[in-house]
Amino acid sequence: MPSELAGGSLKLDFRRASALVLDRDLLCIQILVAMLNGFGLRSIARYQEVAQAIDGLNSRTIDIVIMDPTGYGDKGYGLVSWLRSSSAHPNHGATVVLATGYPTVKAISHMKTCTADFLISKPFSTATLFDRLVWVAQQEGKRGQMLAPGNVVSTTGSGVDLW
């Protein structure tokens, strides 16, 4: 773990941040929202359908998208690709994090190519989510590369070696 994370010298001031959570699983949405609220986030749009999430992205500024593409077929990955390819869209620069459990083999290849910024393996702890959000925040200018911090992320967390 980077020393600044271990020492806690870096902070996330999420008071003005706006998030969008997309997940088929309502319980997972509730868990994620509880964690983000704890981190100080107050503006969190939550959706269970891709079409609703697209409407949400078209209607307000979203700083971070956290979504589980499982269960949406190609539509979930399509949302990420659409956002990344729409350079004129106000939310084109939003950070996109995929949060997934144990994906199928087919899903892994989709995740690698859909141009999301980062992947978090479910189940994750609050500390893990915080550290990974800080890490993602430090990677400005490296969008869409699905990067992994080798010393923070366990790529075997869900049995999937994405990197």
Partner 1 sequence: MVGSFKRSAGVSQFLSATDGLDRGLAVYMAESGVKDLRQDALREVISRTNNLAATASAIGDPPTDEEAQQLHDLANSIFSVAGTFELHFLAKTSRALCELLNILSERGMWRRDIVQLHCDAVRAARDEETLHQSAQEEMLLGLEATRASLQKSNEGAR
Binding site for partner 1 (CB under 8 A): 5, 8-17, 25, 27-28, 30-31, 34-40, 58-64, 68, 70-71, 89-95, 100-105, 122-127, 129-131, 133-134, 136-140, 143, 158-159
Closest Cα partner for 64 from 139, 124, 10?
Answer: 139
Q: Least distance in Å: CB of 13 to partner 1?
A: 3
- Rounded to a whole number of angstroms, the minimum distance from the CB of residue 19 to partner 1 is 9
User: Based on CB atoms, which residue is closest to partner 1, 6 or 150?
Assistant: 6
Q: Give 73's DSSP letter.
A: T
Give the span between the Cα atoms of 149 and 4, in whole angstroms.
Answer: 14
- The length of the chain in residues reads 163
Of 59 and 113, the one with the shorter C-beta distance to partner 1 is 59
| Cβ distance to partner 1 smaller for residue 11 or 150 | 11
Tell me the closest approach of the beta carbon of residue 5 to partner 1, in angstroms. 7
Give the list of residues 6+ apart from residue 86 with CB closer than 8 angstroms, or none. Answer: 92
Distance CA 2, CA 153 (A): 12
